[in-house]
Amino acid sequence: MVAVWRNFPEQCYSVLNNNGRKPKGNSRFFFAFNILGCSTLFVILVLLYNNSGDLMCHEKGSLVLPVLLYQKMAALGLILRLLLWTLCVPSLASFSPVDNLLIDCGGNESLRLEDGRTFKPDLELPSVSVSPISHIVVSHNASLPLGIYNTARIFKKKTVYTFSIKEEGWHLLRLHFFPVENTKYELKSAVFSVLAGGFILLHDFSFKMSAQNRSTLMKEFAVRVGTGDFLLTIHPSEESVAFINGIEVISTPDALFPSSVLAVSDGLPVKISSSIAFEMAYRINVGGPSLSSKTDALWRTWEIDHPFLLNPAAAHNISTSPDTIKYPPEVLEATAPSLVYATAEEMADSNVGVRRFNISWMFGVEQGFSYLVRLHFCDIISKSLNSLVFNVYIGKRPALRSFSIGSKARSLSTAYYVDFVVNISDSDKLLVQIGPPDMSSVFPNAVLNGLEIMKLSDSDKSLDGSFSAVAASLRVGKKKKMMLLIIASFLGGSTLLCLIVAAVYFLCIRPPSKQSNESTWLSLPAHLANSETKVSIVSTKSRAGSYASPAPSVGLNQILTFSEIKEATNNFDEDLILGIGGFGKVYKGVLANGTVVAVKRGNPRSQQGFLEFRTEIEMLSKLRHRHLVSLIGYCEELSEMILVYEFMAGGPLRKHLYGSELPPLSWKQRLEICIGAAKGLHYLHTGAMEVVIHRDVKTTNILVDENLTAKVADFGLSKAGPTLDQTHVSTAVKGSFGYLDPEYFRRQRLTEKSDVYSFGVVLMEVLCARPAINPALPRDQVNIAEWSMYWQRKGQLEHIIDPRLKGSVDPSSLRKFGETAEKCLAEHGVERPAMGKVLQNLELALQLQESFQKVYVTEFNARTKPTAKHLLHVSPSDPEKNVTASDEGNSEGTNTSSVFSQLMNPKGR
């Protein structure tokens, strides 16, 4: 007690100086309040001292207070000090939202709440409109905590709230519900759906089923929106009405939501884009009291953690002064109030020698969804840095091992948080645990200060499991019908084919055929024993109508000897190198029969080896198309792995876009090349005997000949696609960084839509003439897919096109091209079109460009009567000199043994 009295001046000084921190924002009020409180405390103590003469005595000339009075004064001082700590809430983050639309649905006057917010009637805000206007129900229930629940707007049919958004980015959307009692409508049993920004927030929602004995209900969501109109649609179910009491639309700092999160299952990053929305499931102040909206910069509320603790005896709550909490630059103060970081749960004293137990929290979640789990940490118990080390488990999987808060926050009492994504597939419970590390040299302890759990929208852009279940059942039903139709068609066709074969067999007289001396290639042969052996291979017949073209007549699929390869390449002359790829060097060569070829020689030290070599042969031996590079032959002797292709004089598409001194391609030429590549990929997905997924679509694997006819090359990573009873192929992730389908990267589930995503990146490369990934650029421009889609969504794609194209591109052609690329780059595969649809859209973009050029040339002719030379300068491409990729009429007669090259390094597989 003596210490309290002696330290009182120091405590007053600390309060007056705000613990050495400069007051900011609302803390100036509390700073003044601290001065007033400490002064009041001092006056009270002086008065008690002066009015306690009957309790005082003199002993040896010194004034001594009796113990009883001293204890009362000390206790009073502590109580007032604690009162100051409670009232002096740390300053709220200095964040002022640009969009702060607080709506009292059905209200008739502004309503100010205790936390400082002012809700306004929905029909009086100029930035909010309601269509159609609906009924209002008013209640006068004095027991309700917030005035916004005293009124409700009721909807008999679909109604749309339109909000005018000023700032692009993440916005919190809060919906308030309370079934106001009235004689006309039974709102507790009302069933309705709510949609916002293209997301299904609630489906067949019922307050009675969702409130779980709560008098009011607030649902909080986070959606990334653009500037302009943001629509919130409320849709009553049949023979029901809908209602809502209040709506909040609040812009938040973009940094509050991550752009990518590590998955607990495999540790790989999960991309968070505008096609994902969040629903707040839990927001917990671990080890501390519940926090109301007045303590949070974004008016969020925080629950206590005790109801979720599996074994409360395993945890011990701790706390410190919120004034001591520091925020590093990378952690926004709006992330969580300092009151959250000032409290925590640590491992309780179990009175045993070795503490080997976890603190566990259990939360109910919805099966079939992914959840973002945000863990808030702050070391408020250690005396020295890096002395607190522990493990974290999410969903019974290790999320953090030997985690040291100090190494991340870099100082004590400093806020830090980490995010994870967990997929809930086989349970409706989520377990979060902290416990001691495996290291015996560290004192066993663990802390957790705060916890947020947010549901992620699924591939149907839904946050409601009831809608997802309906959508899934519809997909299953549609798939079953398609399967039955395919089986019936197959059986019918097989029966008809058998009848035709039987008729031909019995009615036709055929002479006996002589056994062919040619051997057919069926599988990759073993290493040849005789280096001089040479076997011819029977060419594969066309199987896809006009899409397929016959193979070259000269030397197709020959097993070539190593001596022949050396002769063709002048003993691998370095002057004949066309480029160096991930497999090895590529040489230009001439076979003995005069055929110009590209020879790709495997590098023994390359990361690509026998598997890619075999895959390339197997794939190209079965595929024939004018927009696929043809395999001439291969060599597999003396431990060599050599592939021989038709030579492509134009080389890879990339060098025609950037990084070389070649003349720039016109917009029409670029469209024709994209169309040719799309035809090749469409054939792989639909025209071959089985679905083939290329898995490495990029501008270095799209080659052009001397007429700029595009062909898809490099099938070393190709994979057979899913069968009829499969939706995907589960396989390890391979491909090139910058082109990888994010869904395939996260889940290792490969589909044809993975090629579609990669092709979308190619389209943006063609448009912008820059690499898919360029680390030298500013952070928001590094990834061409993200950067280009930002401008596409703004409708300003013309700002980022190749400067050499400006003025020559038809706006409608560019618009169609941009829309096509945007669909290809959709976050989820089900949202992307098939290659056939992509091909149609690109051909339409080409038609629009050709019409634009005709009008332009006609007007130019009328003004200047140009010469043929002038016309060649005005028109981006000369139709007399270029064979367009859309010309299928020449597919049968095309000599596909023209050219090949692979100049750029396709590493990153």
CA atoms within 13 A on the CB side of 1: 12
Indicate the range of 143-152, 319-328, 369-378, 867-876 predicted with least confidence: 867-876
Give me the sign of the Cα torsion angle 736, 742, 748, 750: negative
Q: How many residues does the chain have?
A: 909
Q: What angle do CA 290, 293, 299 make, to 5 degrees?
A: 135
pLDDT digit string, tens, across residues 835-889: 999 999 999 999 999 988 776 655 545 554 443 333 333 333 333 333 333 333 3
- 459, 455, 462, 458: which is closest to 197 by C-alpha? 462
Q: Residue 37 pLDDT > 80, yes or no?
A: no
For 745-754, the pLDDT digits (tens) are 887 888 999 9
Annotated domain spans of the chain:
2-87, 100-252, 260-463, 469-506, 520-647, 655-898
Q: Which two tokens stand for residue 372?
A: 């973002």
The fold for domain 260-463 equals Jelly Rolls (2.60.120)
Percent of the chain with pLDDT over 90: 41
pLDDT given for residue 632 in this prediction: 85
- pLDDT single digits (tens) 471-507: 554 454 555 666 666 777 777 777 777 777 776 665 5
Higher pLDDT, 56 or 303: 303
ω before 398 within 30° of 0 (cis)?
A: no
Structural class in CATH, domain 520-647: alpha beta
| Whole-angstrom distance, CA of residue 159 vs CA of residue 162 | 10
The active-site residue, picked from 122, 323, 379, 696, is 696
Paired with 270 in beta bridges are: 261
> In this structure, what token pair is assigned to residue 713?
């090359």
- Per DSSP, 684 falls in state I
Q: How confident is the model at residue 710 (pLDDT cuts 50, 70, 90)?
A: very high
Q: Residue 559's Cα: distance from chain center in Å?
A: 46
pLDDT single digits (tens) 434-462: 999 877 667 889 999 999 999 999 988 99
SS3 per-residue string spanning 269-310: EEECCCCCCEEEEEEEECCCCCECHHHCCCCCCEEECHHHEC
pLDDT digits (tens, 9 = 90+) for 302-322: 999 999 999 898 899 999 999
Which pLDDT does position 790 carry in this prediction? 92
Strand extents, DSSP E, 178-216: 191-196, 199-206
Say how many Å lie between the first and final Cα of the chain, rounded: 70
Which is more confident, 298 or 521? 298
The segment with the largest mean pLDDT, out of 27-41, 243-257, 876-890, is 243-257
Cis peptide before 23 (omega within 30 of 0): no
* Spatial CA neighbour of 175 closest among 268, 248, 115, 270: 248
Residue 537 binned pLDDT confidence (cut-offs 50, 70, 90): very low
Determine the Cα–Cα distance for residues 724 and 499; give it in Å rounded to an integer: 26
Select the more confidently predicted residue: 310 or 607. Answer: 310
Q: Which long-range contacts (CB under 8 A, 24 or more apart) does 117-120 make?
A: 117/293, 117/299, 119/147, 119/148, 119/246
741 is a catalytic site residue: no
Give the mean model confidence (pLDDT) for residues 384-389: 88
Amino acid sitting at position 573: D
pTM: 0.48
Tens of pLDDT along 215-226? 889 999 999 999
Q: Tell me the DSSP string of 572-608.
A: T-GGGEEEE-SSEEEEEEE-TTS-EEEEEEEPTTSS-
Is pLDDT larger for residue 191 or for residue 93? Answer: 191
Q: What string of DSSP letters covers 711-757?
A: EE---TT-EE---TT-S-EE----S-TTT--HHHHHH-EE-HHHHHH
Largest CA distance in the chain: 141
Band the pLDDT of 618: cuts 50, 70, 90: confident
Residue 521 has pLDDT above 60, yes or no: no
Helix (H, G, I), strand (E, B), or coil: what is residue 450? Answer: strand
Three-state secondary-structure class, residue 699: helix
pLDDT digits (tens, 9 = 90+) for 120-137: 998 888 889 988 877 787
Question: How many Å apart are CA 665 and CA 708, to the nearest integer?
Answer: 10
Burial (CB count <10 Å: 0-12, 13-18, 19+), residue 778: exposed
CA distance 780 to 791: 11
Topology at the third CATH level for domain 655-898: Transferase(Phosphotransferase); domain 1 (1.10.510)
Q: How far apart are CA 803 and CA 798, in angstroms?
A: 9
Tokens in use for 376?
A: 């808030």
Helix, strand, coil percent values for the chain (each to nearest 5): 35, 25, 45
The pLDDT of residue 801 is above 80: yes
Decide if pLDDT at 73 tops 60: no
| Contacts with 773 (C-beta within 8 Å, 6 or more apart), sequence order | 737, 738, 782, 783, 784
Average confidence score pLDDT of the chain? 77
Question: Range with the lowest mean pLDDT among 227-236, 381-390, 548-557, 804-813?
Answer: 548-557
Report, at the CATH architecture level, how domain 100-252 is classified: Sandwich (2.60)
Whether 734 has a pLDDT exceeding 60, the answer reads: yes
Cα(5)–Cα(7) distance, integer angstroms: 6
Q: What angle do CA 190, 192, 195 make, to 5 degrees?
A: 155
**pLDDT at position 179 over 50:** yes
pLDDT of residue 484: 67
Tell me the C-alpha distance between 232 and 198, whole Å. Answer: 9
* pLDDT in the model for residue 901: 33
Same fold? 100-252, 260-463: yes
